[in-house]
Amino acid sequence: MRRFHNILFTSTIFFGITVCQDDVTEGMAAVTKVATSAANWLKIESGTRGIGMGGSQAASGRGLSGAYYNPASIAFIEGQESYFSKSDYFAGITHNTIGYGTRLTPTDYFGLHLFYLDSGLIERTTEISPDGTGEFYNVLDISLRLMYGKQLTDRLRVGGSIKYIREEIYTTYMQSFVFDLGSNFNTGISDIILGMSVSNFGPDVQFQGEGLQVEDEDGGTTQKVTEKFSVPLVFRLGIQKDIFGGEEASASRLTVSADAINPIDYTVYGGVGVEYSWRNMAFIRGGTHLFHDTAGLSLGGGIKWQIINVDYAYVNYGILEETHQFGISLDF
């Protein structure tokens, strides 16, 4: 019977992908919502384990590395956890994350998470000096979140976060507060887990700063006012199943996961992933993004030794460059 459930689950996933592919592809060709929101860097995936599994972490996320996908993931921390990751993005861009989470009570959890993106040095150009002025600047994006998780029952965990976001471009900047909400539910049926999250819920944002000041003919200055833009609200629905083994398995475990992702400024796309765990010490991961215009195949792996977890992830972005991310966490 268990083997039948495994076959049925796997067949359902691939049947759904096959049925939806034509509709999604047709929709992508007919309608596009790209570039209709600000702070698109909020959609850059982080968490080495999740990246190696094609971003399918709404149901599979555990601990701080899953916080980007679903804040309820911090409700899996057993004691205390610290996390750091570094990614070499394309075009010289780098982004780093650092976080700390703790179990406050048997059912309450708290976490801090910082995401920091740096464009690298960019030479300033003007109409008079189109080849460069010799002055350099960085585009900096920061997201600092406070997270709270709650284990409501032995099967249901929920979480939420408030994020301070800031983007700096030369002498202009944007800042605001946005919110994330999520849940993780173990159905108790055939090792199936469901996850849902809503990310980046908040007010419209607007740029300001000295860079928007222009000189008047009389020698004074006028402050330009930019339009207001929405932040990229993202809905995620995920499913996870252990094909064999389980959370308490002492030998090996094979887990498959899939996410449906619906941003307000993009067409619906998805992610599927798989993770093989040997004695909860060595991990091999793979996945891909479905119906995404750049992100494709992803691979990864990890090693756990006592309290130390070291992970690596690779993503092929097609016409863009490949990316590599390294992560390390301490569980104590």
What b/e sequence results for 44-64 when a residue is b if at least 16 CB atoms lie within 10 Å of its CB, and e otherwise?
Answer: bbbbbbbbbbbbbbbbbbbbb
Beta carbons within 8 Å of 211's beta carbon, 6+ residues apart: 169, 170, 171, 172
Do 314 and 323 meet the contact criterion of CB atoms below 8 Å apart?
A: yes
> What is the C-alpha to C-alpha distance for residues 267 and 264, in angstroms, rounded to an integer?
8
The mean of the pLDDT values for the chain is 86
Q: Which residue's structure tokens are 């891909």? A: 288
Domain that holds residue 138: 2-331
Beta carbons within 8 Å of 196's beta carbon, 6+ residues apart: 58, 70, 182, 183, 236, 237, 238
Beta carbons within 8 Å of 208's beta carbon, 6+ residues apart: 172, 173, 174, 226
Q: What is the pLDDT of residue 92?
A: 81
pLDDT band at 297 (very low <50, low <70, confident <90, very high): very high
Q: Is this prediction's pTM over 0.75? A: yes
Examine the pLDDT at 21 and tell me if it is beyond 50.
no
Dihedral sign for Cα atoms in the order 70, 309, 332, 95: negative
**Token pair recorded at residue 55:** 């971003």
Beta carbons within 8 Å of 154's beta carbon, 6+ residues apart: 186
Q: What is the pLDDT of residue 293?
A: 81
Residues 290-311 have a mean pLDDT of 92
CA distances from 30 to 37, 47, 262, 264, 316 (A): 19, 33, 16, 16, 26
> What is the C-alpha to C-alpha distance for residues 250 and 48, in angstroms, rounded to an integer?
23
In eight-state DSSP terms, residue 65 is G
Q: What is the pLDDT of residue 126?
A: 79
Longest dimension (CA), the chain: 84
> What is the C-alpha to C-alpha distance for residues 123 and 332, in angstroms, rounded to an integer?
44
CATH of the domain at 293: 2.40.160.40
Examine the pLDDT at 22 and tell me if it is beyond 50.
no
Lowest mean pLDDT, pick from 153-157, 219-223, 277-281: 219-223
Q: What is the pLDDT of residue 31?
A: 52
Q: Which residue's structure tokens are 């034509």? A: 22
Q: Which residue has the higher pLDDT, 37 or 283?
A: 283
Structurally, how many domains does the chain consist of?
A: 1
pLDDT band at 27 (very low <50, low <70, confident <90, very high): very low
Dihedral sign for Cα atoms in the order 311, 314, 315, 319: positive
